[in-house]
Structure 1
Amino acid sequence: MISSLKYTGLALLGLLVSTQFAAAQGCVAVRHMSCAAPSGSSAAFFKQRTGTWQVSAGYRYFQSYKHFVGDVEQKQRVEQGTQVINTSHAVDLGITYMPSLRWSVSVNLPLQTNDRSSLYEHYGNPAAGSGINPDANRFHTGSKGIGDLRISTSYWLINPATLPKTNLAVGVGVKLPTGDYKATDQFHRKTKEGADYTITLPVDQSIQLGDGGVGASIELQGYSQLTKSGLTAYANGFYLFNPRETNGVKRNPTATTIDLVTGEFSVADQFAARLGLSQSIRFVPGLAVMLGGRVEGVPAKDAFGGSNGFRRPGYIVSVEPGFSYMKGGYAAALSVPVAVYRNRTRSYADQLDPLGLKHGDAAFADYLISFNVSRSF
C-alpha cells in the first residue's frame, strides 16, 4: 500500500494535468481551451473504480498590455499611452468518464468574456503634426460567449492498479469550431468635420471566441515520485494541429483590396508544455505545493496545411508557482504563471519580406491567474 503522503504528492499531478493551459498571455492568439485531458493521474484518482466520473471548472484571467517585437519590449507604447490592452476572463467546464483505470474520455467547453481597448483601431494613434486623435481617445471592443469545444481521450502506458511511482499517459483529441470566429463590435471613426460615428467590423483576432477550424491534438503527461516524503516530478505537453489555412474572416471588410497573405484571419497551430516539482505538506493532509516552468505559444508556420493569413506568432516562458488541496472526491488548485521571457516571432508574412525587415508586434501579460476545482464520483 502506498502511504498517504504519496497519495497527496501524486494527487497534485492530477490537478496539474487537469489545469487547462491558458490562452497565451496577450495578442499571441492561443485559444482558451483545455490542453490536457483532466483524467486522474494521481494515485488518489487511481483508487477510484471503473466508471468514475469527474466534473471540473476552471477560471482564468489575464491582462496584456506590454508590446514586444521579437524579445524586445516596446516600452514607448506604455509611456505614450498607445498600448493595446486585452482583458480576458474564461471559465472552462469539463466532464470526464473513466471506462477503466488506464483510459479516460473528456469533454471541455470554455465560456469567455474579452475586452480590448486601443487607439489605432478607432481614431488612430496620436502622431505629431498629423492632427489624428490628438486627445488620445481610447475605445473598447469585446466578445462574449462559448469557445471551441474539445473532446479528448487519454491512456496510461503502465497499469495504475499497481500504483507505480512513475507513469506516462498518451492522449489525442479533436477541437470543434463551436466558438464564434466572426464576432463583431462597433469601431469609432471621425467624419471630416470631426463628428464621431461607428461602423461594425470583426473584433481583433486575439479576442475572437474561436478560430473556425477543426483541429486535432496530441498530448503527453507523466509523473515520477522522487522521494518517500511526497516530492514528485511532473510534465505534460500539448500540440494542436489546425490544417485549415484561413477562416474567411477579413480583417478589414471595407478595404477595396484584400492582401492575399494577411487579409484573412489565420487558423494557427498551438503548443504548450509544463515541467516542475510538487511537494506534499506533512502537517496539512491533502495539501501540496508546486513550482515549475511552462512555455506556450503559436508557431509562425503550421505543421500541416498552409500558413497564410494574419496571425501573431510567438511564445511565453513562465515560472509557475501554485498549490493544490484534495479531500474526499473534491480537489482544488491555484497557479499563477509569471512571465520571464516573451518573444513575438516573425510571422510567415513577415518572412516573405524581401528586405527581411518586417517584424510585427504583439502585447503580452505579466502573469496569469488559473484556479480549478473538480469533483469525482
Structure 2
Amino acid sequence: MNYDSLIEKRRERFAEVEGLISDPNLFNDQKKATEIMREHRRLKELLEMWDELKTAESDLIDNRELAKDGDPELAEMAEMEIPELEEKIEKLGVDVQYALLPRDETEDRDALVEVRAGAGGDEAAIFCGEILRMLQRYAELRGWKFESIDAMPSESGGFSKAVIKVTGEEVFRFLKYESGVHRVQRVPATETQGRIHTSTVTVAVMPEAEEVDIQFRPDELHIQATRSGGPGGQHVNTTDSAVQITHLPSGVQVKCQDGRSQTQNREKALEILRAKLFEVKQREQQEQYSAQRRSLIGSGDRSEKIRTYNFPQTRITDHRIGFTSHNLDGVMQGELFEVTERLQAAEMDQRLAEAGME
C-alpha cells in the first residue's frame, strides 16, 4: 500500500502541532499540553522513520545498479550491502505501518501491575512470587524501573497479592499482554507421590492514570486506617499504618499497607484506585474493538486463561495465538520478547485490517 498521502497529512499535522507548542498558553491546560507533547513526539518519530525508509529504499536501488557494474570490487561491495538494506527496509516498513495506525493513548504510559494467587493454595502463592520475579526481570531487560507498591507475602514463601509500578518507555504498550490468568502445571515440592498439580495466578496490567484522567471529590471517598496484616515483620503488625479507600460511586475498594506511614500508604492507595477506575473507563471505550483484538490486549476478561506453563515438558503455551515454546526457563527469567512480539504482530494484523491498511 502507498502511504504517501497519509504521510503528507501527518506532515501537515506536525506543522500544526509545532505551532500549538509555541503558544505559551497551551500549558495552562496541563492535560491538553501533555496530549499535544505526546502527539508531537509520535509524529516526529514517524516522519524520521519515513525519511529513513525512503533513504534506505533509494540506497537499495543504487546498490542493485552498482552490483551490475563492470568494476568487480565495487559490485562486490554493493552486493554485500543489499541484504542489510533489505532487512532494514522490512523493519522500517513494519514500524511505519504501526506508527500510522490510530494510537491508543495509554500505550506510552507507565503501568501498575496487580498479581494475585488464584486456585491452588500454597502452590498458587509460590507461583505468584515467580510470576512477579519474571515480570521484574523482564522490566530490567527492557531498562524499565520496577517498584513495589504493596505486597501481601504468603506463609508458603510466595505472595497472595502484590502490586508493582513499572516506569519507562512505552511500558503499557509491551506489558499489557500479561493481563489474564496464568496457569502452571508441575509437581509441587510438597508432593510426595509425584502428581502434577494445576494452579493459577491472575495478572492485571493497568495503565497509570494521571490526576487529570480521574479526579475525586472528597465526598466520593471513604478513607480509613486499618491494622496491617499478613507476614511482614514486627513493624507492620503493630501499627495502624495500612490505609483502605473505598470509591463510593463505583464500590471499588483498595488497601495499601506496604509503606511505613499512613500518608505513604494513602498516596499509594489513591494511585492504585485511580488506575483501577481509569482501566474501567478504558475498557468501556474498547468495547468498540473487534472481539479478536480484545482477546489479545490486556483489558479483556481477567478470568480468561491466557498462558500455561508446563514444567514437566518445559513448555509454555500462549492460548490467544496458539504460540508454543520450550524456552520455559528463559521465559521465567524474563525473556518474554518472543511471545510479546508474536502477540503484537497478531494485534497489528487485526488493527491493519480494521483500518483498511492491509
Q: Same fold (TM over 0.5)?
A: no
User: Which gives a bigger RCO, structure 1 or 2 (Cα 8 Å, sep 6+)?
Assistant: 1
For normalisation by structure 1, the TM-score amounts to: 0.27
Report the structure number with the largest CA radius of gyration. 2
For normalisation by structure 2, the TM-score amounts to: 0.28
